[in-house]
Every structure is written in structure tokens, then in C-alpha cells.
Amino acid sequence: MNPAVPGGEPPVAAAPVALYLHVPFCISLCPYCDFVVYAGAAARGPRARVGPFLDALHAELDLRAAVLDERFGRDRPPLETVYLGGGTPSLLPADAVAALLVRVRDRFGLAEAAEVTLEANHGPDERGDTSAWRAAGVTRLSLGAQSLDAGELRRLGRRHRPADVASAVREARDAGIGSVSLDLLYDIPASTEAAWASTLDAALALAPDHLSLYALTLDDPDAEGLTGPGGDHLPTPTGARRWRAGARREQEEDRAAAQYVHATERLAAAGWRGYEISNWARPGHGDRRCSAAPARRMRDPRCRNGALRGAHARSADRPRPPPGRLPRANRP
């Protein structure tokens, strides 16, 4: 009996319908982030490691596709979704993103109406060329706004301002990106219910198509045994560890619960539909299976086999589900 399906039989293996590509580079490392990220000189400049990473990623795509060819045949169904997450995938050159999507289409196949998501930061030096993303085949832009309160953004160590979020959304619309998603965090240290309500109202005023709302989770990957040779996380920097220790003291479970309840009520009143515990879509933009949350993709067998975690790729036959609670957010 499959414990994931009470009373049911083990799921029949099927060809993956989604592919997740992890791009582990950022300009700077947010103190709450425990994703696999390399920042600073590794991301830009003469010592950048982006080129060798892309070479390795193309090779890995070919290897994974060869395994699927052998297991399911070359005529298997094409992918329905592709998600470039990070990190900050918008730091990649536009031609590099285009080349990756060509390789994905050639080796895995892409359905005619496939959703192709790229995560981007908002700062003018980080968001990249939105028109070029569209030309490369990106159909959905996921923007990690986290907050639309300037003070909270500074508290979180973010580089962008609220005005940058509005500018990024406007550029995406002008470029013809058909779907725009915003990520927001609640239970930000020293936050208030009023500040959260203001951020949510400001986000709705930007008219995105999807909202992902996550309680800020300040984990300790080292204590959880997720770092080191057998882990899939990098060690937490000393400065980030100090920041998290102080930030935890300024979080409140009751406040977080109240903020979440407010969000569910506010979005329902605006006509938005919640299709996962942390994800909502406005009318006309329903759930695209396996597209919204990397955690969900890793849990879903149809998506999991296609997951490729760039810097720490694991065998498709031995996937490791992400640790922690849901909803959870440490994204940069």
C-alpha cells in the first residue's frame, strides 16, 4: 500500500509533465534564504561561475532526457510546464535562457500551450530584459516582491524598493508576458497586521495573475543535518545565522495566523481562488499543475521525475522531498 495514497495502490510510473531548473546565482544573499545560492563574484564579473554552470546544466539535461528516452520512449508526452527558479534566473543572459529552452524542447518536448516560468528580481540591474524573456519563450514571470513596505524590505535585506515591483509588473505587461505572479511574505519580523493588509492591497492594485503568500520560516539547515556531504543545502553564513536568531524573537504565531486569515478573506472578497494552501489566482488564471510551487513539484510523482535541481541534482529514481513545513518560504 502506498502511504501517500491511503487505501490505494502505488502510483503507476509515468513520464514527467514538468521540469524545474534551479539557477543558483544572486547578486547578494538574503539572510533568511537557505536555498542553494552562490552570490557576489560567483554571479557576476570575471570570476563568475555562470558559464561553467550552464555547460553542466546542458549536459545534465541531455543525461536526464536519455534516461527518460530509455524508460518511456522518445514518443512520450511533451512537458506541460517548465520552471526556472533560483536564485535569480533573470541574471542569466537572454540568449542563455533561449538556448536552455531550445534544449528542453529538443530533448523533452514542450506542449503547444506549455507554461514556461522564470523567476526574476525587481531591481533594474537584476530583472533582465523582459522583452527578451518573452521572445525566448517565457510565458509567466514570477516576481519575489516579499513585501511592498519599504521598511520591511530593508529589514529583510532586500535590494529593491516597492516602486521597483510596480515597474517590473508594468514591463512584463508591456512585453506581452501573459501571466505575472507575485510572492509575498507574512510574519515578517516586527511586522503588523496593518502593514500586511497594506502590502496585500498594494499587490492587488498591481493586478497580477497569481499570488503566492508564505509565512517566513527561519530554519537552521545545519542543525537539521541538511548541510555537509550528505545534504542538499549550503552551510548558513555566520551573519545570516545571527540575523535569524534576532528575527525569530520578533515573529509571533498568533500574528502570522491572523495575517493568513486576513489574506484568505481579502482575496476571496476580491474574487480570487485559492488552489493551494499558499497560492491564489485571479479569475481566468487557474492552477497549472506542477507550475506554482517547487515543493509541490517535488511531491507530485508526475512532476518529481522531471525535477532538476541545478547545483544539487539528484537521481530521478531517488528524489529527496524538501524538508520543513508548508507554507514555507526562504526564497531569495
- Mean pLDDT over the full length of the chain: 85
Going 328 to 304 to 3 to 322, the CA torsion angle's sign is negative
As a whole number, mean pLDDT of residues 23-30 equals 93
pLDDT of residue 16: 92
Contact indicator for 215, 288 with CB cutoff of 8 Å = no
d(CA 273, CA 259): 17
pLDDT at 231 over 90: no
d(CA 265, CA 251): 22
Provide φ and ψ at 179, rounded to 5°.
Answer: -145, 130
Strand partners, 146: 184
Domains belonging to the chain, first-starting first, are 18-220+233-312 (3.30.750.200)
**What does each C-alpha distance from 75 to 15, 192, 212 come to in angstroms?**
10, 53, 35
As a whole number, mean pLDDT of residues 243-257 equals 95
pLDDT of residue 229: 81
* Cβ count within 10 A of residue 179: 20
Helix axes 50-72, 94-108, angle to 10 degrees: 10
DSSP-based three-state secondary structure for 322: coil
Paired sense of beta strands 279-281 and 210-215, if any = antiparallel
As a whole number, mean pLDDT of residues 286-301 equals 47
pLDDT of residue 318: 30
Cell of 325: 513545513
Percent over 90 (pLDDT), the chain? 70
Provide φ and ψ at 144, rounded to 5°.
Answer: -85, 75
